[in-house]
Chains A and B, each alone.
Chain A
Amino acid sequence: MTDDNTVLPTSGNLVIIGNGMVGHHLVKTLVEQGDASPWTIHVFAGENRPAYDRVHLSALFDDQTPEDLCLSPAQWYRDNRVTLHLNDEVVEIDRDHKTVITAGGVRQDYDALVLATGSYPFVPPIPGHDHENCLVYRTVDDLDAIKRCAGNAKRGVVVGGGLLGLEAANALRLLGLETHVVEFAPQLMPVQLDETGGALLRKEVEALGVHIHTGMKTELIDAGEQHTLRMNFEGQAPLETDMIVFSAGIRPQDSLGRQSSLELGERGGIVVDNQCRTSDPAIFAIGECALWNNQIFGLVAPGYTMARTVAAVLNNQAGDFTGADMSTKLKLMGVDVGSVGDAQARTAGARCYRFQDEVAGVYRKLVVSEDQKYVLGAMLVGDCDAYDTLLQYMLNGIPLPDNPASLILPAGDAAPALGADALPDGATICSCHNVSKGAINDALDGGCCSLGDIKDATKASTGCGGCAALLKSVVDAGLEARGVEVNNHLCEHFEYSRQELYHLILVGGLKSFREVRDTHGKGLGCDICKPAVASILASIHNDYILEPEHVGLQDTNDVFLANMQKDGTYSVVPRVPAGEITPEKLMTLGRVASKYDLYTKITGGQRIDLFGARLEQLPLIWEELIDAGFETGHAYGKSVRTVKSCVGSTWCRYGVQDSVGMAIFLEHRYKGLRSPHKLKFAVSGCTRECAEAQSKDIGVIATENGWNLYVCGNGGMRPRHADLFATDLSDQQLVQLVDRVLMFYVRTADRLQRTSVWLENLEGGLDYLRQVVIDDTLGIAAELEAQMEVVRERYQCEWRTTIDDPQKLKRFRSFVNAETPDQDIRFVRERGQPRPATEEERSDLIETVSV
Chain B
Amino acid sequence: MQWQHICTREDLVAGSGVAALINGEQVALFYLPDQSPPLYAIGNHDPIGGANVLSRGIVGDVNGELVVASPLYKQHFSLLTGACLEQDHVSVPVWEVKLDGDKVLLRPLPAALNRTGT
Q: Does A567 contact B (CB under 8 A)?
A: yes
- State in angstroms the CA–CA spacing of A524 and B35 once bound together: 9
Residues B13 and A811 in contact, CB atoms below 8 Å apart: yes
Total residue contacts A-B, CB cutoff 8 A? 103
Q: Does B92 contact A (CB under 8 A)?
A: no
For A818, list chain B residues within 8 Å (CB).
20-21
Q: Does A820 contact B (CB under 8 A)?
A: yes
For B50, list chain A residues within 8 Å (CB).
566-567, 839
For B19, list chain A residues within 8 Å (CB).
814-816
The 8 Å CB contact of A526, one of B16, B32, B60, is B60
For B20, list chain A residues within 8 Å (CB).
815-818
For A707, list chain B residues within 8 Å (CB).
none
| B1-24 at interface with A (beta carbon < 8 Å) | 6-7, 11-16, 18-22
- State in angstroms the CA–CA spacing of A530 and B18 once bound together: 18
Residues B57 and A523 in contact, CB atoms below 8 Å apart: no
For B11, list chain A residues within 8 Å (CB).
810, 816-817
With contacts A568-B51, A814-B19, A822-B26 taken as known, whether A552 is within 8 angstroms of B59 at the C-beta atoms is yes
For B111, list chain A residues within 8 Å (CB).
none
- State in angstroms the CA–CA spacing of A559 and B69 once bound together: 14
Which chain A residue lies CB-closest to B61?
A524
Q: Does A525 contact B (CB under 8 A)?
A: yes
Residues B51 and A553 in contact, CB atoms below 8 Å apart: no
Q: Does B72 contact A (CB under 8 A)?
A: yes
For A822, list chain B residues within 8 Å (CB).
26, 52
Residues A559 and B56 in contact, CB atoms below 8 Å apart: yes
For B12, list chain A residues within 8 Å (CB).
816
| B45-62 at interface with A (beta carbon < 8 Å) | 45, 49-53, 56-62
For A246, list chain B residues within 8 Å (CB).
none
Most buried by B among A553, A554, A568, A820: A568
Residues A556 and B57 in contact, CB atoms below 8 Å apart: yes
Q: Does B64 contact A (CB under 8 A)?
A: yes
For A815, list chain B residues within 8 Å (CB).
19-21, 26
Residues A555 and B71 in contact, CB atoms below 8 Å apart: yes
- State in angstroms the CA–CA spacing of A555 and B68 once bound together: 12
Residues B61 and A523 in contact, CB atoms below 8 Å apart: yes
Residues B66 and A817 in contact, CB atoms below 8 Å apart: no
Most buried by A among B15, B16, B63: B15
- State in angstroms the CA–CA spacing of A555 and B76 once bound together: 14
The 8 Å CB contact of B60, one of A530, A556, A817, is A530
Residues B60 and A564 in contact, CB atoms below 8 Å apart: no
Contact with A along B68-102 (1 / 0, CB 8 A): 01011010100000000000000000000000000
| A533-565 at interface with B (beta carbon < 8 Å) | 548, 551-557, 559-560, 564
- State in angstroms the CA–CA spacing of A557 and B45 once bound together: 18
Residues A816 and B18 in contact, CB atoms below 8 Å apart: yes
Q: Does A527 contact B (CB under 8 A)?
A: yes
Residues A566 and B72 in contact, CB atoms below 8 Å apart: yes
With contacts A816-B7, A817-B21, A820-B21 taken as known, whether A526 is within 8 angstroms of B57 at the C-beta atoms is no
Q: Does A531 contact B (CB under 8 A)?
A: yes
Q: Does B29 contact A (CB under 8 A)?
A: yes
Prevailing SS type, chain A contact patch: loop
For A492, list chain B residues within 8 Å (CB).
62-63
Which chain A residue lies CB-closest to B66?
A524
Q: How many residues of A contact B (CB 8 A)?
A: 37
Residues B61 and A552 in contact, CB atoms below 8 Å apart: no
With contacts A567-B51, A822-B52, A824-B52 taken as known, whether A552 is within 8 angstroms of B14 at the C-beta atoms is yes
Residues B6 and A816 in contact, CB atoms below 8 Å apart: yes
The 8 Å CB contact of A566, one of B14, B51, B67, is B51
Which chain B residue lies CB-closest to A814?
B19
The 8 Å CB contact of A556, one of B26, B53, B66, is B53
For B29, list chain A residues within 8 Å (CB).
816
Residues A526 and B69 in contact, CB atoms below 8 Å apart: yes
- State in angstroms the CA–CA spacing of A817 and B12 once bound together: 11
- State in angstroms the CA–CA spacing of A811 and B12 once bound together: 9
For B76, list chain A residues within 8 Å (CB).
527
- State in angstroms the CA–CA spacing of A552 and B6 once bound together: 22
The 8 Å CB contact of A525, one of B13, B16, B21, B60, is B60
Which chain B residue lies CB-closest to A523?
B61
- State in angstroms the CA–CA spacing of A285 and B3 once bound together: 86
For B53, list chain A residues within 8 Å (CB).
556, 564, 568
Residues A564 and B61 in contact, CB atoms below 8 Å apart: no
For B59, list chain A residues within 8 Å (CB).
524, 552
The 8 Å CB contact of A564, one of B26, B66, B71, is B71
Contact with B along A500-538 (1 / 0, CB 8 A): 000000000000000000000001111101110000000
B41 CB, min distance to chain A CBs, angstroms: 12
- State in angstroms the CA–CA spacing of A824 and B45 once bound together: 10
Contact with B along A265-301 (1 / 0, CB 8 A): 0000000000000000000000000000000000000
For A560, list chain B residues within 8 Å (CB).
56
- State in angstroms the CA–CA spacing of A540 and B22 once bound together: 42
Most buried by A among B53, B60, B69: B60
Residues A527 and B57 in contact, CB atoms below 8 Å apart: yes
- State in angstroms the CA–CA spacing of A817 and B27 once bound together: 11
For A523, list chain B residues within 8 Å (CB).
60-61, 64
A618 CB, min distance to chain B CBs, angstroms: 12
The 8 Å CB contact of B58, one of A493, A552, A816, is A552
- State in angstroms the CA–CA spacing of A493 and B22 once bound together: 35
The 8 Å CB contact of B7, one of A555, A557, A567, A817, is A817
For A551, list chain B residues within 8 Å (CB).
13, 15-16
A674 CB, min distance to chain B CBs, angstroms: 16
Residues B51 and A556 in contact, CB atoms below 8 Å apart: no
- State in angstroms the CA–CA spacing of A815 and B12 once bound together: 11
Residues B63 and A552 in contact, CB atoms below 8 Å apart: no
For A824, list chain B residues within 8 Å (CB).
45, 51-52
- State in angstroms the CA–CA spacing of A568 and B20 once bound together: 15
With contacts A551-B16, A816-B19, A818-B21 taken as known, whether A527 is within 8 angstroms of B60 at the C-beta atoms is yes
For A555, list chain B residues within 8 Å (CB).
58, 71
- State in angstroms the CA–CA spacing of A530 and B71 once bound together: 13
Residues A548 and B72 in contact, CB atoms below 8 Å apart: no
For A553, list chain B residues within 8 Å (CB).
15, 58
B108 CB, min distance to chain A CBs, angstroms: 16
A565 CB, min distance to chain B CBs, angstroms: 9
For A557, list chain B residues within 8 Å (CB).
71
For B6, list chain A residues within 8 Å (CB).
816-817
For B61, list chain A residues within 8 Å (CB).
523-526
- State in angstroms the CA–CA spacing of A839 and B49 once bound together: 12
For B7, list chain A residues within 8 Å (CB).
816-817
Residues A559 and B60 in contact, CB atoms below 8 Å apart: no
A616 CB, min distance to chain B CBs, angstroms: 11
A-B contact pairs, 15 of them (CB 8 A): A492-B63, A524-B59, A526-B61, A527-B74, A527-B76, A551-B15, A552-B59, A554-B58, A556-B57, A556-B71, A564-B53, A566-B72, A568-B51, A817-B21, A818-B20
User: 4 shortest A-B CB distances, which residue pairs?
Assistant: A552-B15, A526-B60, A556-B71, A568-B51
Known: A492-B63, A527-B60, A556-B71. 16 other contacts (CB 8 A): A492-B62, A493-B60, A523-B60, A524-B34, A526-B62, A531-B58, A551-B16, A552-B15, A552-B16, A555-B58, A559-B56, A568-B49, A816-B18, A816-B20, A820-B21, A824-B45
Interface residues of B, Cβ cutoff 8 Å to A: 6-7, 11-16, 18-22, 26, 29, 32, 34-35, 45, 49-53, 56-64, 66-67, 69, 71-72, 74, 76
